[in-house]
Amino acid sequence: MARAANREFEHPIEEVHRLLDKLDSEVKEELAAIRTRDVDAAELPELSQVILELLGWTNTAYMENTMGIHPSVLSKFVKQRGRVNLSDARILADRVRSYVRGQDYAFDATQYELGIHRWRFAAEDEKAFQREEQRLSKLPAAPLSVRAEIWVAITPTATIKTKIADLASLLESIVQHVNLSNLPPDEQALTEIERAQLIAILETSLAILKSPMAEKRMLKAAGDFLKKGAEKAAEKQVQDGLGGLMNAAAHRIGELIGIIFS
């Protein structure tokens, strides 16, 4: 199997994915089942469980300050008793999801590529997959780690909504373009590992843009990756279309950071 990169990061990515799955399925179903304006925290045990697990990662004060969660609301879910407004519970779930999704991202690019290649190879072509697995195992480890800097709530003005929608559309186009490209290596602007890293950070940025809060360092890192990618495309004189998309997206990320974090 492809070897894992030698790295350390605060929260295992498997745990992040597990909590995200719980928030997107069980917690979402819990909230959808409530038909009253107020709800007892005990009626949302899955949301309480996620919060209690997060308190093993951080502390109550950090959750209150960073996610903008009112102490009285958070306390009810920690103690699993007390009534809260259903809209407050939904906001809490959204902010918890944003926090989990934006955790320090450590990424083993070779493992990501291996997953992509397993999808591409037909099931019966196991030998081809094994050859690709051996090739990827010889690539140098390329961990990608971005430490969160500052979270702020996004003020949903018409201008910000429009800029976020435009940027999200651009990033989705870039991810699709990079994922589906079957050009030979010498006609690619980025190496295999660089493409995997770019996809990882753009997908994380997309999740942040769809949440009620934004994280500055992750967005800035995405902009830096896009600028470097555009520069490589221009330098190698390949994938002009992709280079243009990356340049435009990097510029719009800079604009959005200036508005949200000003």
- Last residue of a domain, which of 76, 101, 126? 101
Read off the DSSP letter of residue 211.
S
Residue 145 banded pLDDT, cuts 50, 70, 90: low
Q: Is residue 4 part of a domain?
A: no
pLDDT tens digits, one per residue of 170-196: 898 888 888 777 788 888 888 888 888
Same domain? For 29 and 87 the reply is yes
The mean pLDDT value for 130-158 works out to 63
**Has residue 106 been placed in a domain?**
no
Residue 118 in any domain: the answer is: no
Tell me, rounded to whole angstroms, the distance of Cα 98 from its chain centroid: 9
Residue at 120 is within a domain: no
Instruction: Clarify whether residues 88 and 186 are in a common domain.
Output: no
Establish if 112 belongs to a structural domain. no
| 77 neighbors 51 (Cβ within 8 angstroms) | yes
Q: Which domain holds residue 249?
A: 146-260
Looking up tokens 């003020």, which residue turns up?
155
Which range (75-79, 104-108, 151-155) has the least confidence?
Answer: 104-108
Q: Could you tell me the sign of the dihedral formed by the alpha carbons of 57, 59, 62, 66, in that order? A: positive
Predicted local distance difference test score (pLDDT) of residue 135:
55
* CATH number of the domain where residue 243 is located: 1.20.120
Domain boundary among 101, 127, 157: 101
Residue type, 1: M
Q: What type of residue is 173?
A: S
Tell me whether residue 174 is in a domain. Answer: yes
Q: Are residues 90 and 161 in the same domain?
A: no
- Could you tell me if 71 and 157 lie in one domain? no
What stretches of the chain show up as alpha helix (H) in DSSP?
Answer: 13-22, 28-33, 45-54, 60-67, 71-79, 86-101, 109-120, 126-137, 158-180, 192-209, 216-236, 240-260
- Per-residue confidence band for 254, with pLDDT thresholds at 50, 70 and 90: very high
CA dist 146 and 102 (Å) reads 10
Question: Rounded to the nearest 5°, which phi and psi values hold at 241?
Answer: -60, -45
Instruction: Find the mean pLDDT for residues 123-150.
Output: 54
Residues 166, 92 within the same domain: no
**Which 3 state secondary structure label does DSSP give 76?**
helix
In eight-state DSSP terms, residue 26 is I
Q: What is the pTM of this model?
A: 0.46
**DSSP reduced 3-state for 69:** coil
Give the residue with greater pLDDT, 112 vs 30: 30
Given 101, 122, 138, the domain boundary residue is: 101
- Is the domain of 151 the same as that of 236? yes
Q: Which of 62-76, 97-111, 113-127, 148-162 has the lowest mean pLDDT?
A: 113-127
Quick one: average pLDDT of 114-132?
47
**For 103, which DSSP code?**
S
Structure token pair of residue 73: 């609301």
The count of domains in the chain is: 2
Task: Tell me the β-bridge partners of 40.
Answer: 83
Q: Rounded to whole angstroms, how far apart are CA atoms 101 and 260?
A: 19
43: in domain: yes
Residue 28 lies in a domain: yes
Q: Is the pLDDT of residue 35 over 60?
A: yes
**Mean pLDDT, the chain, as a whole number?**
76
